[in-house]
Structures are given as C-alpha cells and as structure tokens.
A and B are shown apart, each in its own frame.
Chain A
Amino acid sequence: AQSVAQPEDQVNVAEGNPLTVKCTYSVSGNPYLFWYVQYPNRGLQFLLKYITGDNLVKGSYGFEAEFNKSQTSFHLKKPSALVSDSALYFCAVRDIAGSARQLTFGSGTQLTVLP
C-alpha cells in the first residue's frame, strides 16, 4: 500500500524568509509525486509534479520541490515567502505502475506567512 506523510499540521514563517513544507512517501515502485495548494473555500490547485529526471522540480508561483529517493522525501520550498502564500498544502503520490485510482494524499499542512 502506498502512503504519504506530512509531519507538520502547521508551518509559520515570516514574510521574506524561506519556507519548507515537508512530505515523505511510501510506494512499492517508482513514484509520481505532486504538490497541490488549497485556498479557503476553493478547490485544489496543482503546483508541481515529479515524474522522472531532474530531482529539483520548479512549479507555479515560485515554488520548487526536491525529490530525494534515498530519504523518500519530496519537500516543497520557496526562497522568499509571501503573505499570499498562506494556504493549505497537500502532497500526493501515485505509483507509476498503479491503476487510475491510486493517488494518495497527505493530511495537509497549513502554511501561514506572517507579515
């Protein structure tokens, strides 16, 4: 069975500081990895994905994530946080060899950027 862990329910960071939202995963084969963001009363918006290739993936709004196979991690990062980045962030994983349904989400991390 595959799983995703987001160990922090809440992350607070000052505006202008770098931010990291952590994610670790478990799959039996090779993973597809995703980050989504959810603003209040909205649906999930796709940020970035790792399929194969370069371990550093760049996505929307200046976010990036680093795939680390040995640590089974896919942490979301941004060099300089904005107040508008405050939202709920979800990591998700799918086994490349899996069926259409096998997209598993983490429990989410609430990011608050303080002005």
Chain B
Amino acid sequence: NAGVTQTPKFQVLKTGQSMTLQCAQDMNHNSMYWYRQDPGMGLRLIYYSASEGTTDKGEVPNGYNVSRLNKREFSLRLESAAPSQTSVYFCASRDRGLAEAFFGQGTRLTVV
C-alpha cells in the first residue's frame, strides 16, 4: 500500500519556468491538499480539493493552480516560477470518515 505518492522528489527551476507537481493516493480518500513548508512557518495550505471535481484556495494560493484529475490524483502547477516559491511541497489526503491526513514524502523545489 503506497499511500500518498509525490513526483518528483527534487526539482530545480529557473525563474519564469513552469512545472507540475504530481500527487496520487491509493486510499480512496475524498479530500486532497497541497501544502508548502518553509522554515519557522510550519505548513501553509495552498489549495485543497474536498472531493473529486472541486478545488478551492487555501492560505497562500497566489502563483499556483491545481487540477483534481480524478479521485486519486491532484496536481499542483507553477505557471511562472519565482524564487519565493522555493520550498518543500507536501501533498496530503484525508478520508471523510477519518480526521487525520496522510502525507506524501514531499517535493523539494528550488527556483534560481
């Protein structure tokens, strides 16, 4: 049982480049989330999807877009990367009937 799988694990982008972070979960969870983790700031919610077909903004959505492709997959896109988006990105999923979220291993993104 793989849980939540994120790809890639590491990425270096130049300012202005675009990329998509992929996330897939095999637990049949309804809700999926994208967080960014920065030193001293904990995890901040970028976007979430409460169920297949719906997405909504979190605390720090600017510069990002998301797609809930199906129940399993939730991707995060940076259209024009900026150095301020250098961070570690985590995808998470949660079942409607369970309170805790399950996290992927993270994507370490550096924008130069």
User: Which A residues are closer than 8 A to B by beta carbons?
Assistant: 4, 9, 32, 34, 36, 41-46, 49, 51, 90, 94, 99-101, 103, 105-108
Residue B53, interface by CB 8 Å: no
User: Which B residues are closer than 8 A to A by beta carbons?
Assistant: 4, 31, 33, 35, 40-45, 48, 50, 56, 58, 90, 92, 94, 99-106
Q: What residues on B are CB-neighbors of A101 within 8 Å?
A: 33, 45, 48, 50, 56, 58
Q: How many A-B residue pairs have CB under 8 A?
A: 53
* Contact A90:B42 (CB < 8 A) given known A99-B50, A100-B48, A103-B101: yes
What are 22 residue pairs bridging A and B, where the CB atoms are less than 8 Å apart in the complex?
Answer: A32-B99, A34-B100, A41-B106, A42-B105, A42-B106, A43-B4, A43-B106, A44-B92, A45-B103, A51-B99, A101-B33, A101-B45, A101-B50, A101-B56, A101-B58, A105-B35, A105-B42, A106-B42, A107-B40, A107-B42, A108-B40, A108-B42
